[in-house]
Structure 1
Amino acid sequence: MSALQDQIQVHLPDGSVKDFAAGVTPFQVAESISPRLAAASVVARIQPLDSNTTETGPKETPGAAATSDDAAMYAAEDANAPRLVDLATPLTTSVKLQLLTEKDPDALKVVRHSAAHVLATAVLELFPETKLGHGPATDSGFFYDFYRPTPFTPEDLEKIEKKMAEVVARDEKFTREYEPREKGLHRFKADNDFMKIHFIERFTKEGDDISLYRNGAFVDFCRGPHVPSTGRVKAFKVTNLAGAYWLGDEKNPQLQRVYGTAFFSKKEMDEHFARLEEAARRDHRALGKQLDLFSIQDLAGPGLIFWHPKGAMIRKIMEDWMREECIRRGYDLVYTPHTMRVNLWQTSGHEGFYSANFFTKMELDDADYRLKPMNCPGHILIYKNSPKSYRDLPVRYAELGNVYRYERSGTMHGLLRVRGFTQDDAHIFCRRDQVESEIAACIDFAQSVLETFGFKEFKVELSSWDPKDRQSYAGSDADWELAIGSLERVLQEKGIPYKEIPGEAAFYGPKIDMKLVDAIGRLWQLSTVQFDFNLPARFELEYVGEDGERHQPVMVHRALFGSVERFFGVLIEHYAGAFPLWLAPIQIGLVPISERHLPYAQQVEAELKKAGFRVELDARNEKMNAKIRDLTMQKVPYVLVMGDKEAEANAVSVRARGKGDQGSQPLADFIAHAAKLAAEKSLEL
């Protein structure tokens, strides 16, 4: 098939094939199917059918992409891979074509990148002395970097947003243009656009044509794609302003980064900001302080968690449950040292592959030592300490072990990103014929963790390797094929949908990540199951097989909480601090109406504690309503009020969190009901 032909074939997602004259655009294809589809289409995804074809248009190294904030955004695409193009792109070769509407997440990214151009248009119209950086889409919106000696003010941001509305109302077409590299450089140099000059010089070569996008008088060096016109950017908002050094180097000029967000409709945007408000209400850092669960102390250092009594109680419940489940599922509990010789990490390969995440070496009298960033080498040494037979396998070691990783300043975030944490690590040493059943059991265990702690939904990713980046991975090609195939088969046999993420595997093997969905729809990476053929080889692990010969086991790594700290932080936000009865640090608050009811309240306290409940008696000389309010602010599941009637009838007046006054009931009945809920780990009261 030639690069240009009179007739081409367009293969559609429903399997149909349509013939068109070469040069037809995706928009025209959409019109031929349905005017409604054409009106709804935002962008197109194409893939050439002929492996020798190249992208439509002059030879180029593309400019700014829509979704990244680094050098990758300027890298040339694989011409034969699926890619997004404008609806106005002429199709000169036969392709697979998918028309993306508002239902596709990639379409929203294109809208947001187009909104970044609208933002830049508005800024230049208001402040023509400004120089442009780049403006990618992000997961939550977009930004654009600007150089302007005068700082933007909040009033300026309001003006910019108003001017953006004018640009949208003008409904200017986004048009892709090409021009010789030298001509583009000359023009940008004449305007002293030093950032655009840098991008062109670094990411294009002499003789290239560069890609530009025009809307009205505004022109930007950009790969695109874009929506058909500025009028398609229907719902947007400028959100905030931040500083960013040019190229991330503090020696360079400081840029002003203007952030915004965009959606297909105002309703979606309003829902987005409502979610942000709800996320702020659930912020575990604020709730941790309000509920007195944990703290991070400046005197001790960032990223190091101090567990207060109430937080420590929840941690104990979490860890006790995990240890009991491990034992029930055939694991042996182990403990390993917090620091070990550097030689160990050299043998494991972490010293080479993972050194940037270690804390600095400690020089002791006999050798250099490292604080451990993970538990696996310690478990390997326990395995290796005694001979193993095929009858002994699988061997499963589990540890709630404290580990330490050097997180850079600025990356730490409450409980979610710390320098010292407790990993619920386990390592399974098994024969190759056992590995898939062990992986399946780990996935079952992970699902049990999520269900028990109240997470009803999760999504799965399979992180595989990138064979082109061979130096980043240990092991042979055959090992990687075996490992990835094993994980795939388990997921397929269990009927679990998953998304493969190439290039995201650990250096020693592929992994399955289970991302839970919290109460407000956010994804959290916690549980992971990893295949490892590398460490058994590095440590020369063995077992004696049924044939009497020595064989090498394989390893499965798994962490289900991920880390106790991170899981706890997610729990706080998932429940907004209102933990279910079985997890709540204080399960029942007691409020005597007056001092003369204190003896009966103490009697109730004793009976509740005897039944195993965690109880707080408010014996202060305060008004009843004040006591109830304080316990309610602490999100205590049950508040029991006691006066004359309750004392005479051996009863309690029950107030359930979120349900209000439940009336009076015999103490024995309340204890039986609450005990049942706690035993069942119920999420309801």
Structure 2
Amino acid sequence: MKNMIDIKENERLSVMNHSCAHMMAQAVKRLYPNAKFWVGPVISEGFYYDIDLGDEVIRDEDLPKIEKEMKKIAKDGKRIVRKEISKAEALEMFKDDPYKIDLIQDLEDGNITCYQQGEFIDLCRGPHVDTVKELKNFKLLKHSGAYWKGDANNKMLQRIYGVCFETKEELEEHLNLLEEAKKRDHKKIGRELGLFMMSEYAPGMPFFLPNGMIIRNLLENFWYEEHTKENYKFIKTPIMMSKELWEVSGHWENYKENMYTTMVDDREFAIKPMNCPGSLLVFKNALHSYKDLPLRMGELGQVHRHEASGALNGLFRVRTFTQDDAHIFMRPDQIESEVMELIKFIDRVYSVFGLSYRIELSTRPEKKYIGDLAIWEKSEKALADACVHAGKEYKVNPGDGAFYGPKLDFHIKDSLGREWQCGTIQLDMNLPERFDLSYVESDGSKARPVMLHRVIFGSIERFIGILIEHFAGHFPTWLAPTQVMVVPVHYEKHVDFASEINEKLNALGFRSKLDARNEKLGYRIREAQMQKVPYQLVIGDGEIENRSVTIRKAMSKESITMPLDEFITMLSAEVKEKRL
């Protein structure tokens, strides 16, 4: 299977899709003369445009009509012309479109760029293709509602998604991959396998069901085991802390609009949106020597962040999630060696799931940053050298670091070639200062530690969503909610031995179930396959006579017979070694 292309990251396709968004808007304006347009950006999957159609509603059957009009526009082959106009001219030109007026008013005084093709003109920085005839290979994918500016208090607009490629073959390939991605949708599979649910009573806050809790607990246990090997100390910090703490950390000033707050005994509190302030309080609670460093603190901490309702998406975008946080306090001379070991650690964790990745180094912002320039340069060099010494290539993102320090981002690639930013190693020169942290140097003087924020999964919930789609629900045996389904051919003749096998497997710590329902054998096997159980064991006369099992693996129509003890040995090794 070919990898899905990230349109936004491909320079040529990004330009084409941006131009195609304009062409779609032109077609919509022809078909719906009263249409008004908000924004039409390029995204990883192609493009979309948010449109106000007044009382009219886009339906599935309207997309082919819009496509037909787009084909006419492409066939006409008009040039796409860049124009520069003043802010006053722009306000006059778009005076009947409140959405464009809103955009224009936010722009600085000076020339504003527009792009025009035929009768259609739109605000845009560009660039665009030369002519619309380059935009022949496109497809409108879907439509949905989207609140203006992502705010549920605003009007609901209509969003149309599409994608454009240079050739018909590339488009067809991409559409096939999109179909595969649809089959792997974690919301669909999560519902079918009983992994999680969402409720209108808690928007953006997932409910984990029994099967989902098995996966979650296994991931968390794996996390604890691996971190114990790396000498991490585990902590648990309160989920709600007072306003004063968030003022010290800077969250109250910079992040309050995303925080959930409440009053307790006439004192303002906030549910934590991040775990780091709690870790800082734990460090500050004790006296530390230079000999104690690096001090590695790990916390699976639940955080809450208010996200616009329109942005919520299954487990991928939620309002509460568990971060697999670690905060490492160290001496400045330990940065490179600590980061190098962290890269190796992250590499080991991702390899368990068969996930490849790439690393991006985000460096000092040009204007807004804190700390000494020499320290920034030394920190950036330490991160870069750590990658080199760990044998890893990296791409530099100039100026994309946080104001308080440079970082490494780990973009994992799933089985469809889609990238997900999960792991982060972030140096922080801000919080140790704000919390006045210190350790005692060899000469008895006080020194400021360097702080490093680090996640591997990122969010447990989101990582589970990624794994669901990566494996299409066919989890590796060690992670599967049910590992074995024992299926007797006939109830009366075979259920006793089947029950004995099921009980033995569960006693040995495997997750096994018995399906002895009065249903046809083929039906029960098919259902186990649909539930994506890694192993189905069929028990009939021959199996009873030889104390054997006939094994059928998930995603396979072939079967093999082997002694029960041999199967148990094989299963034990597969689970223990976390084989894929």
Taking structure 2 as the reference length, the TM-score comes to 0.89
Partner residue in 2 for 1:512: 408
Q: Which amino acid aligns with 1:105?
A: N
Deviation of the 1:426 alpha carbon:
1.3
Offset at 1:434?
0.8
CA distance in 2, matches of 1:133, 1:308: 39
Are residues 266 and 302 of structure 1, via their aligned partners in 2, closer, same or farther at CA, if it must alter by over 3 Å? Answer: same
Amino acid at match of 2:522: N
Q: In the alignment, what sits opposite 2:272?
A: 372
One of 574, 582, 585 as aligned partner of 2:481: 585
Shift of 1:516: 0.7
Aligned-partner SS, 2:458:
coil
Matched, 1:325 2:226: yes
* Cα offset, 1:151, TM superposition: 1.9
Q: Distance in 2 between matches of 1:171 and 1:105?
A: 24
Q: CA deviation at 1:147?
A: 5.3
Aligned 1:149-164 pairs, distance under 5 A: 149=54, 151=56, 153-154=58-59, 156-164=62-70
What is the DSSP-based 3-state SS (H/G/I as helix, E as strand, rest coil) of the residue aligned with 1:276? helix
How many angstroms apart in 1 are the aligned matches of 2:478 and 2:329?
34
- Secondary structure (helix, strand or coil) at the match of 1:530 reads strand
Aligned pairs, number: 572
Displacement of 1:162 in angstroms is 1.4
Moved more, 493-502 or 275-284: 493-502
What whole-Å deviation, never above 9, does each CA across 1:443-477 have from its counterpart, x for those lacking one? 1111111101221x112222334232x2xx54444
After TM superposition, give the deviation of residue 152 of structure 1 in Å.
5.5
Asked if the contact 1:460/1:499 (under 8 Å) is kept, the reply is yes
Superimposed CA distance per residue, residues 409-443 of structure 1 (whole angstroms, 9 cap, x where no aligned partner)? 23222222222222221111111111111111111
The 1:615–1:498 alpha-carbon spacing in structure 2 relative to 1, beyond 3 Å, is same
Aligned position for 2:164: 262
Question: Do 2:151 and 2:308's aligned partners in 1 also have CA atoms closer than 8 Å?
Answer: no
Task: Find the counterpart in structure 2 of residue 292 from structure 1.
Answer: 194
Give CA-to-partner distance per residue, 1:572-595, whole Å, 9 cap, x none. 111111111111121111111222
Residue 627 of structure 1 and its aligned partner are, at CA, apart by: 2.1
Q: Decide whether aligned partners of structure 1 residues 287 and 178 sit closer, same or farther in structure 2, where only a CA change above 3 A counts.
A: closer
Deviation at 1:234, TM superposition (A): 2.2
- Alignment partner, residue 250 of structure 2: 349
Structure 2 counterpart of 1:137, which letter?
V
Q: Where do 1:199-210 residues align within 5 Å?
A: 203=107, 205=109
| Aligned equivalents of 1:402, 1:287: Cα separation in 2 | 24
Q: CA deviation at 1:676?
A: 1.7
| Aligned residue number for residue 303 of structure 2 | 403
Counterpart for residue 235 of structure 1: 137
Determine the C-alpha separation between the residues in 1 that align with 2:153 and 2:505. Answer: 64
Cα contact 1:188–1:197 (8 A) shared by 2: yes
Write the distance in 1 (CA, Å) between the matches of 2:419 and 2:332.
Answer: 33
- 8 Å contact kept, 1:379–1:427: yes
- The 1:231–1:298 alpha-carbon spacing in structure 2 relative to 1, beyond 3 Å, is closer
Quick check: 1:172 aligned with 2:78?
Answer: yes
CA contact 1:466–1:503 (8 Å) conserved in 2: yes
After the TM superposition, which residues 400-549 of structure 1 pair with which residues of structure 2 at under 5 Å, given as runs?
400-455=300-355, 457-468=356-367, 470=368, 473-502=369-398, 504-549=400-445
Task: Pick closer, same or farther for the CA change 1:488–1:134 going to 2, 3 Å.
Answer: same
Highest Rg: 1 or 2? 1
The CA deviation at 1:538 is 2.0
Quote how far apart the aligned CAs of 1:394 are.
1.3
- Change beyond 3 A, Cα 1:631–1:548: same
Letter in 2 for 1:334: I
Equivalent in the alignment of 1:646: 543
Mapped pair 1:308 → 2:209: yes
* Residues 101-142 of structure 1 deviation map (CA, whole Å, 9 limit, x = unaligned): xxx822212212222333344345455565566644333333
TM-score (norm 1): 0.76
| Cα offset, 1:212, TM superposition | 4.9
Once the two structures are overlaid, the 10-residue window that deviates more, 261-270 or 512-521, is: 261-270
What secondary structure is seen at the aligned counterpart in 2 of 1:269? helix
**Which residue number in structure 1 is paired with residue 3 of structure 2?**
none
Percent of pairs identical after alignment? 44
For 1:646, the aligned partner's letter is E
Query: Which piece of structure 1 moves more, 219-228 or 554-563?
Result: 219-228
Alpha carbons 2:150, 2:310 under 8 Å: kept? no
Q: Does 1:109 align with 2:14?
A: yes
Contact 1:141–1:262 (Cα < 8 Å) also in 2 = yes
Check the 8 A contact 1:358/1:370 in 2, yes or no: yes
Q: Does structure 1 residue 681 correspond to structure 2 residue 553?
A: no
* Contact 1:611 1:671 survives alignment (8 Å): no
Alpha-carbon distance between aligned partners in 1 of 2:453 and 2:236, rounded to the nearest angstrom = 16
Q: CA deviation at 1:332?
A: 1.7
Higher normalized contact order (CA 8 Å, seq sep 6+, divided by chain length) = 2
Structure 1 residue 216: Cα displacement: 4.2
* Aligned counterpart for 1:573 among listed residues 465, 469, 474: 469
Counterpart-to-counterpart distance in 1, 2:459 and 2:85: 53
Q: From the superposition, tell whether residues 589 and 321 of structure 1 become closer, same or farther in structure 2 (CA, over 3 Å).
A: same
Report the Cα offset of residue 404 of structure 1.
2.4
Compared CA separation, residues 553 and 642, structure 1 to 2 (3 A): same
Task: State which of 594, 598, 601 in structure 1 corresponds to 2:498.
Answer: 601
SS in 1 for 2:344: helix
- What's the offset of the Cα at 1:535? 1.9
**1:295-348 C-alpha deviation (Å, 9 max, x unpaired):** 22334x123232222221222211111111111111122222222233222222
Aligned partner letter, 2:524: K
**Paired residues of 1:394 and 1:428 also in contact (CA < 8 A):** yes
Q: Quick one: which amino acid aligns to residue 263 of structure 2?
A: M
Distance 1:502 1:594, change over 3 A: same
Residues 592, 601 of structure 1: 8 Å contact kept = yes
Structure 2: how far apart are the matches of 1:131 and 1:292?
A: 42
| 1:320 aligned partner, one-letter code | N
